Structure 1
Amino acid sequence: MSVIPCANTITRRIFRAPQLSTQINLPLTIDPAEQLVAGIDVEAIWAKAEALHNSGMHPMVSMCLRYQGKTVLHRSIGQARGLNGVEPRAAQLDTPLCLFSASKVVSAVLIHKLAEDGLLNLLNPVSYYIPAFAQNGKANISVYQLLAHRAGVPGVPPGTSPSVLFDHQESLRLICEQPPLCSDGRILAYHAITGGIIITELVKVCTGLSINEYLDKVIRKPMGFKSFTFGMPKAMRGTEAQNYKSGLPNVSIVGKKLETILGADVDTVVELSNTDDFLDATIPSGNLYATADEACQFFQMLLQQGEWQGKQILSPLTVYRLTSEASRPQHDRSLIIPMRYSAGAMLGGRIFGLYGRDTPYAFGHLGFSNIVCWADPQRDISVSLLNNGKPVIGNHILNILGLMESIRTNFPQKEDIAGWSGNFGQHELTMG
């Protein structure tokens, strides 16, 4: 049973630790398929993940880690549900969680797949496919710039109701009518929600399918996933983890900045994420639901140059395009920190990065809040860390930094990974 120490301390009250149910046991659930690998201290890594849960900021933590293609850690702990009169439920390995912004890598893959199949050119203007996007100086913004957060429309106009996110056509209209931060893609500004709305329309224009139908066709069904959908289908409703408010009240400068990025204050976003409107919606930038194992499998597929269990989901060249640096680290107007992106992913760093120190080849994405999914070719690992607590500032920060450092140091680093994406020319010839 999971025990959270100091359950009634002043510290936990200050940081708004969610009150968990005392009516259910919260056991640690371990996948019996975990494989032991000599020299890898899995228990030390998990101890850091368990400390993250025990901080009280994350009622549920689910984690999956693969090394050299083997599942070496796959565990869940804590409370998945129990808000607003919902019957409390313990975390399970197959509990889907919302990936929030980590969804962006999946939606970007769909655009890269369109390019692989010749249905879209990444260097074409977005307005070639969506003419209305050309309004107010955006005519020359390319699809590639959109994926790399350089489309110049990082948010909807101030004062827009968050409910607009549930209306695709209205959201699209607002984005198309906006003037950009610049007309040539020079300014980097994280597109928290708006990029996914444009991606949804691009998929529809190029295929005639909804983005969930296209996701089913190229990723979900070929990889054998049970969940892995934008939104939560009614047939599966109630299996997903609920999201909990936690951490200091978000009245700080950080909280205000997040309100600008997300289009609403943090607590409102958390509340909305548990509503039927959110579960019914298709938000490719922020509401993919997946288990930790599914998210890890997805990044393992990318690590394996698009191959999964004998199927070529993506070509190696497509993976290369997805994961290659779009530009050197640059000040991000939205996040107010230097960021290094590819056309669809957040990249690691040589000195310090999102996935720990000395991770220059790592690619993945963060999700609100403390969700981290990534792969690192130098260490031959794919990782997903999912949770349902949503703190901005809390007593968990050292725990998550310690977890990332434990992962980084446990896996030997290869010096030379040149060509990890394979022999492009030969493979592309065989792909036809």
Structure 2
Amino acid sequence: MLEKSKKLFERAQQFIPGGVNSPARAFKSVGGTPVFLEKAKGSILTDVDGKEYIDYVGSWGPMILGHAYEPVIEAVKETAAKSTSFGAPTEIEVKMAELVKQMVPGVDKIRMVNSGTEACMSAIRVARGYTGRDKVIKFEGNYHGHGDSFLINAGSGALTLGQPSSPGVTEGTAKDTLTANFNDLNSVKKLLNEYEGEVAAIILEPVAGNMGCIPPKKGFLSGLRELCDAHDVVLIFDEVMTGFRVAMGGAQERYGVTADLVTYGKIIGAGLPVGAFGGKQEIMDVVSPVGNVYQAGTLSGNPLAMAAGYALLSELYENPLHYDELEEKTVKLARGLKDVLEEHGVPFVLNQVGSMLSVFFTEEEEVIDFKTANTTDQAFFKAYFHQMLENGIYLPPSPFEALFLANSLTEDHLRKTIEAADESIKVALDNV
């Protein structure tokens, strides 16, 4: 199997660094050949060799109603026939901004950009411009894209590859990035007190997804809100993963805590390359051309991405039962996986928030931060991952990534996944 994928990977490595255009795709942490995909529909992926897989990656989150969702495809076709880009204002940008404001608490204004990374970079710049301060607090294991300010103790690909920071990030940039421990308010208090009056923003994934799915402890997010208010610091929620997924209004709605700024990624464009940042009017009004914090992009608000995203988000807004159905499916999968793991005596922690979940193969009682996430048995995960792939289940190729479920998953898909997990755990136990 994977014969065509192997040949394509060999070709790709001659012309593309590592043969991939994003590091996690290289399968470096799990070994083997990356699967080259050809098409998808609903929750079924088909690779270039014709093998089908049940998908739990969903293009890393945005395919919340499944791949090739018909209203999205039709919106893209209709828009493309008029032109793929103008570099000028269009009505669909206005409609999208209005819709996001209706769906998300605390978003008075929003600016479209071209990726989640760009959204987070821009939000940090705006926070610095608004406060006149330089330093930013982030959390160990949280990943906010590959901007220089964020590649300090980052998660996801950097964590998977054993590179928590990156060459090319200057000492000057690094000194302005302070790192706290996720789910640890005391570590944040110490930094705010030590650098009193110097911190512009605190940025975090309100539900961590780049060191595996790790929910906030009770009181953690509200505690951050109180600290930011007390120290005049801008609170930024990176909702590239959680936005419009863990609830219609994202983590802000689910946990009842409103950030000052929020960032989004590809779900804003139903999987097309896009991002956005938004928040309180007084902060957003420092962005040019209203204010003097410069941010620009020729393809920002691209009509294809806006049309696709509007079709997807409109469906979620008009039919909020999607969220109930998704959570029911995720809970059912979580229960099935727990039963299998307990039956085989495998130590584990399973974290789930909405339609995100992760299984950590660890002896820890709970996984709450970067340190406990790193106790997961990576060798066991590697064996488990490859057997699941062999059994037609497409998981993220890293023990430090969350699964994303789509509402296109059926009861049969869930049953097959749990059966595949049962067999895969047996194989992993025999091989590790």
TM-score category of the 2 structures, normalised to the smaller one: under 0.3
TM-score w.r.t. the length of structure 1 is: 0.25
Query: TM-score scaled to structure 2, two decimals?
Result: 0.25
Greater helix proportion: 2
